[in-house]
Structure 1
Amino acid sequence: MKNYIFKLFALLAFTWPAFAQAQKSILFIDNKTDKLVYQPYTKKGDIIPDFSYSGYMGGGVKINFPKVVKILSPLPGDNTINIQTALDSIGKLKADENGIRGALLLRAGKYNLSESLVIKNSGVALIGEKGEARNTILIATTAKQYTLIKIGEQESAKMDNKTKRQVVADYVPSGTNKLLLNDASCFKVGDAIIVERPSTAEWISFIGMDKLEDNWRPISELSADQVADYQKNGKVSDDKKRYNTTVQWEPGSKNLKFERKITGIDKNVITVDIPLTNALQKEFGGGLVYKYKYNKRLAQVGIANLSLTSVFNVNVVEKDKDLNTYFADEEHGWTGLEFINAENSWVDNVKTKVFSFGFVCGAKSRLITIQNCSFLDPVSIITGGRRYAYTISGQQCLVYNCYARNGRHDFVMGAQVAGPNAFVNNKAELCHANSEPHQRWATGTLFDNCSLSGPDAGFSLSNRGAFGSGHGWAGAQMVLWNCITPLAVVMKPPTAQNFSFGTVALKDKWSTNSSIEERVMKLNKISNSNFKYNSLPTVGDGFIFSDEKHMVPKSLYLQQLNERLKSNELVKD
């Protein structure tokens, strides 16, 4: 990836009628310094987040391919054991001063894999021979849903309960990195901490997530596990043919856990390395700070120059809403690549095809870069829970210069995501659903210079109400910057905000006025809103500025990154 510093022009000032006419602008370039100036968008001091901490090693750090220490060529039949054994053997090598052990190089060819490959040790890379064709091909061959490449193993963070301290300020605004505690004596500079924002009954009630409407769905749309769960909880209709899938938000179930490092201590005020992407409010439980650690979290893992695909049953087909026939088998390799428990790791130049899920940054992953990748033509039914191209559930993750085709939620967030995260310079075509924070209060994600087109292409920063199982308010402090899309729905959540800067309409054969109006009405119904489509790309009551005209700087992420690194030279990685 190449990050370029831009010669910036002054950003036009603008007015925010929802706050105060005197509030001239919330983000602009200072003419004297050519740097961004952040003005609060609330009277309590909340500012646009700094997204530049997203990515490998905190952004702006060159990805160096490790030295090749083992080489394999494809074998006839199943290659799973051969490759897994090689990865494990590299994992036993001594790591260098940067924590890197070495790379396994796969020669060009086809590698049949009946089971998952699991990278279990830090400092290990799996790479194919470099080339635009990505002619090192890994093939999932078993007729079941499984992940082809897994990085790390499931593990819960170990909390140091003795260090739990309360944030005592009445209000800590989003965008800040200073926290006043009741007692900071147990901490020192360099400590890894979690800043936890609780989800109290008072907050859930205030934002209306304990009053979600019922969503009755036919049994044919549900999995066997879902049916068993709904039957157990009495959520079945009298005729036993429909089930209420809505789950009201429960106190404590939507806590945000920001992983941070202490960089300064002044009496009981601590400074953390990365600003928060959600306010802490004393009336809604304030916040907790405590030390934590992972014992099994991997680092310095890399994947590059590979094509991932799967065998599937070509005889299983369905028809889409336009009556076009498509492949719909669901018993095949299901996820291309997943970071389960890893940090400071990366993926470069990897293509997935057939898989229903392409690239996943799980909830225990952070500081991950996925760049120059593609997600092509998934094989599945075109419906919920499928066709997710790039999914982020962790924090400080970056998806850069990537492509998706024929997916649903192409650039998407999971639940309770503690930002920042960033999708930068990406493109998706033939989209069958929105790119979005998908459910249950993800925070602090930037969609920067992303382009969408297709039957149901759009961005949605919204209240998803009873969609799914009660997804509700899906995201807060979400920012669209210079994106191109037929439609962007940008709603203001209670206690928070979402933003659109410089969104420009994309017109394709699907984006007729009537089709977009129908989609807006659908979201209105589920969120109890009454927004109107007025031929501008962005709809909603969030912070919307400069519709149909791109902003300066061209990329907010790159501007923030270069300012933070205090460099006037090209940042290369």
Structure 2
Amino acid sequence: MISCCFLVLGSTFSYAQNRSQWVYPDNKGRLVYKTTAAGDRIMDFSYAGYKGGGVALPDVPVKKKVAPSGSADDTQLIQSAIDEVSALPLQQGFRGTVLLEPGTFTCTGPLIINATGVVLRGSGSGKNGTTIKMTGPKHAAVLIGTAGKQAAGSKSMPVTDTYLPAGSSSFKVADAAAFSKGDQVLVKKPVTEEWIHQMEMDNLKRDGKPQTWISKNSFLVMERKITSVSGNTITIDIPLADGGKGIVISHAGASERITDVGVEQLHIQCPPLEIDYGHAPYSGIKINADDCWVKDVYCEETMNTTTLAGNRITMQQVVVTHTYTNLGASKPTDFSLEGSQNLIDRCEVTGGNTYFVWTAGLRAGPNVILNSTFRGHGSRIQPHMRWSTGLLVDNCTVADGGIDFMNRGVAGSGHGWTMGWAVAWNCIAKTYVIQNPPGAANWAIGCIGTRYQTARLFDSSPVLPDGNFDSHDKPVFPQSLYLAQLAERLGNKALQHIGYKENGGFRNKQVAPLPPLKVETDPVYGINKALHRPINTSGGTRGENTLDADPATYWTTDEGKTSGTLEIDMENPVALSAVAISEVLGNRVTAYKVEGQVNSDWKLLAEGTTIGNRKTAEFPKETIWKVRVTIISATDRPAISEVGLYLK
């Protein structure tokens, strides 16, 4: 067995000394998988990436060069070059590269690539490279495959297996005569009333109103290729990212998506803005195409930076930085996984109050986040909504935030169970929330950080038990599950094709956390638990000023308004029993109330007719997810400099 070492917390662990019970190499080096009682297993994630994994990103010849014009808008200059190359004939699957020479290109609109085999390449993402400076109306920097559609399926045939385990590569149908080796098929898991009830997602309520998790008669769709048919047994190329009862299969229709588009060696820049992502003007790269890649791209200040809505996309060495923390309780994401077989590799994000990576609803893997580093207070990797499956977070560092595979409950009008059959492997994070959905599993294996248990979001109970933590705080061998699976399937050359040595070649993943946020302690009530929490406002802006421990900054309502609300997202269930509010610019408030969100409903905690310099109120201890301060009336625009929340 090959021995690798990993440095963490001042100690050196040998990977050969620790192995997972769920996936481990036998004495011949072959990976062995443990199954659940129902036969489910961790899937083979190695099919994620360009062309299905293990394929080198192509070096496409340059057919057109463009130099910066120095004008106020280079959008059409670049677009004309893209269109010219897009009209060239395909040669071995490619038309050619548009090379942007060093310098700054000012763009007031998106650059659109809507033809197969076109590459947009800069002259480097660094100081002396190529910069696309985004100005003008709201837009994305690059749009790829704007007209592409997903494949449609034919009439479905039921799978006859009573229960089809997750991770399966074969199954039976009543009559396989209609299927042949090489057929592209759709394997679909139906959303039934029975399954919704099993998942305990038929009891979601918010403010007394029922919330819909997933509509009945929807499907989780897995696109696969038949590799063999034997009798009525069908074998597919990629293991299933979900299983269960009632699975059906159909032929896939022809895809209209373009393919083989790349974006390389660019710096995408927009101005730093203190803003909430809903009003942020610029995003980065949106891909609705298959077998594409983005390599060596630095995105500066973009919000909702990349969207991967196609399949088999590689994001390699993509760096995103945010100067200012995203404002508001709603968070953007910098990598939105909305397709399958997508690989985020050696990427970095720095930014507060954001989701580094999320998944959209009803999206099946494999999808992989590999050897990437994410930094920012209040930020996390968190599948976002309504049941995606088959995600691997492999050798990633989230020094200041968390990795969560969890039940989001009524968040976002019913996100509910977000992820099943996901694995965090040899990661470092501040916290982990790993929960097992009914009838499914999630894993954290060889990971370092604090395990955290919570109820589903906005509920105070029951606290959901941990999912599958294995070898916690002790990294396991092999160092990378994805690379081990890839090498086993395609050989070590596949690792070299994507830039890895045979044994991984990872740098030390221990990253120093950011400086801690300021803490404020009241001499009577103790620590202020509201500090630096995300906050939404209505009737005014800059609610963050009430939670920054700075008495000179404040929130006020818009001109002409004397009422408004501040809604603080505690982000976890927090026990509270006291509130303090401070007014500046004089005693203006004449009526206010404070409410807490308890078990998805709002409960009155305190109310009054004046605030003044500082007003405190105690109430019976409650476990609260959100706190809402409503200024009902005032003699002039209210100015609130502090909202403190405490447990006395």
- Per the TM superposition, whether the score is higher than 0.5 is yes
Give distance in 2, aligned partners of 1:423 and 1:432: 19
The one-character-per-residue Cα deviations of 1:325-383 (angstroms, maximum 9, x if unpaired) are: x455865533200112x111101000111211112101xx0001001111110667433
- Which residue of structure 2 lines up, in the alignment, with residue 546 of structure 1? 471
- Quick check: 2:213–2:415 contact (8 Å CA) kept in 1? no
- Which residue of structure 1 lines up, in the alignment, with residue 80 of structure 2? 85
| C-alpha deviation, 1:135, in angstroms | 2.5
- Which residue of structure 1 lines up, in the alignment, with residue 448 of structure 2? 504
**1:526 to 1:306, Cα distance in 2 relative to 1, 3 A:** farther
- Quick check: 2:365–2:391 contact (8 Å CA) kept in 1? yes
1:367 equivalent to 2:312? Answer: yes
Give distance in 1, aligned partners of 2:60 and 2:4: 30
- Quick check: 2:483–2:495 contact (8 Å CA) kept in 1? no
The one-character-per-residue Cα deviations of 1:183-223 (angstroms, maximum 9, x if unpaired) are: 2222221111111111111101111112112158xxxxxxx
- Which residue of structure 2 lines up, in the alignment, with residue 211 of structure 1? 203
1:466 equivalent to 2:431? Answer: no
1:34 equivalent to 2:29? Answer: yes
- Which residue of structure 2 lines up, in the alignment, with residue 174 of structure 1? 166
Counterpart residue identity of residue 373, structure 1: V
- Which residue of structure 2 lines up, in the alignment, with residue 398 of structure 1? 343
Counterpart residue identity of residue 559, structure 1: A
- Which residue of structure 1 lines up, in the alignment, with residue 291 of structure 2? 344
What are the within-5 Å matches in structure 2 for residues 180-191 of structure 1? 180-191=172-183
Counterpart residue identity of residue 294, structure 1: S
Report the identity percentage: 31
Give distance in 2, aligned partners of 1:245 and 1:349: 45
Please report the TM-score for the alignment, with normalisation by the length of structure 2: 0.71
The one-character-per-residue Cα deviations of 1:526-553 (angstroms, maximum 9, x if unpaired) are: 384326xxxxxxxx42111111111111
**1:188 to 1:5, Cα distance in 2 relative to 1, 3 A:** farther
1:334 equivalent to 2:278? Answer: no
Q: Which moved more, 1:147-156 or 1:472-481?
A: 147-156
Give distance in 2, aligned partners of 1:74 and 1:434: 38
Counterpart residue identity of residue 230, structure 2: D
The one-character-per-residue Cα deviations of 1:83-117 (angstroms, maximum 9, x if unpaired) are: 111111111111112x1111000011111111111
| C-alpha deviation, 1:9, in angstroms | 6.2
**1:270 to 1:462, Cα distance in 2 relative to 1, 3 A:** same
Query: Which residue of the other structure, out of 397, 403, 409, is the alignment partner of 1:451?
Result: 397
**1:91 to 1:13, Cα distance in 2 relative to 1, 3 A:** closer
- Which residue of structure 2 lines up, in the alignment, with residue 529 of structure 1? 462
- Quick check: 1:211–1:248 contact (8 Å CA) kept in 2? no
**1:67 to 1:149, Cα distance in 2 relative to 1, 3 A:** same
3-state SS, counterpart of residue 121 of structure 1: coil
Give distance in 2, aligned partners of 1:189 and 1:106: 44
- Which residue of structure 2 lines up, in the alignment, with residue 280 of structure 1? 244
3-state SS, counterpart of residue 187 of structure 2: strand
Q: Which moved more, 1:442-451 or 1:58-67?
A: 58-67
| C-alpha deviation, 1:486, in angstroms | 1.1
Give distance in 1, aligned partners of 2:329 and 2:61: 42
3-state SS, counterpart of residue 137 of structure 1: strand
- Which residue of structure 2 lines up, in the alignment, with residue 303 of structure 1? 263
3-state SS, counterpart of residue 292 of structure 2: strand
**1:466 to 1:332, Cα distance in 2 relative to 1, 3 A:** closer
1:430 equivalent to 2:422? Answer: no
Query: Which residue of the other structure, out of 98, 103, 106, is the alignment partner of 2:100?
Result: 106
- Which residue of structure 2 lines up, in the alignment, with residue 555 of structure 1? 480
1:148 equivalent to 2:141? Answer: yes
Q: Which moved more, 1:394-403 or 1:460-469?
A: 460-469
Structure 1: 4+ residue segments shifted above 4 A: 4-14, 326-332, 378-381, 520-525
Query: Which residue of the other structure, out of 292, 304, 309, is the alignment partner of 1:357?
Result: 304
The one-character-per-residue Cα deviations of 1:400-449 (angstroms, maximum 9, x if unpaired) are: 00100014100221111111000000111114232111111110000011
Give distance in 1, aligned partners of 2:343 and 2:413: 28
3-state SS, counterpart of residue 257 of structure 1: strand
Gaps of 5+ in 2: 6-13, 499-648
Q: Which moved more, 1:559-568 or 1:470-479?
A: 559-568
**1:266 to 1:306, Cα distance in 2 relative to 1, 3 A:** same
Give distance in 1, aligned partners of 2:207 and 2:418: 17
- Kindly indicate which of the two structures has a greater share of residues assigned to strand: 2
- Which residue of structure 2 lines up, in the alignment, with residue 228 of structure 1? none
Counterpart residue identity of residue 462, structure 2: S
- Please provide the CA RMSD for this pair: 2.5
| C-alpha deviation, 1:159, in angstroms | 2.7
- Quick check: 2:131–2:266 contact (8 Å CA) kept in 1? yes
- Quick check: 1:188–1:262 contact (8 Å CA) kept in 2? yes
Give distance in 2, aligned partners of 1:329 and 1:178: 43
3-state SS, counterpart of residue 88 of structure 1: helix
Counterpart residue identity of residue 333, structure 1: P
3-state SS, counterpart of residue 268 of structure 2: strand
Give distance in 2, aligned partners of 1:114 and 1:524: 40
**1:214 to 1:39, Cα distance in 2 relative to 1, 3 A:** same
Query: Which residue of the other structure, out of 270, 288, 301, is the alignment partner of 2:234?
Result: 270
- Quick check: 2:106–2:135 contact (8 Å CA) kept in 1? yes
**1:563 to 1:266, Cα distance in 2 relative to 1, 3 A:** same
- Which residue of structure 1 lines up, in the alignment, with residue 538 of structure 2? none
- Quick check: 1:415–1:440 contact (8 Å CA) kept in 2? yes
- Quick check: 1:480–1:501 contact (8 Å CA) kept in 2? yes
- Which residue of structure 1 lines up, in the alignment, with residue 52 of structure 2? 58
1:67 equivalent to 2:40? Answer: no
**1:427 to 1:134, Cα distance in 2 relative to 1, 3 A:** farther
- Which residue of structure 2 lines up, in the alignment, with residue 223 of structure 1? none
Whose radius of gyration is greater, 1 or 2?
2
3-state SS, counterpart of residue 50 of structure 1: coil
**1:133 to 1:526, Cα distance in 2 relative to 1, 3 A:** farther
Give distance in 1, aligned partners of 2:308 and 2:495: 28
**1:301 to 1:5, Cα distance in 2 relative to 1, 3 A:** farther
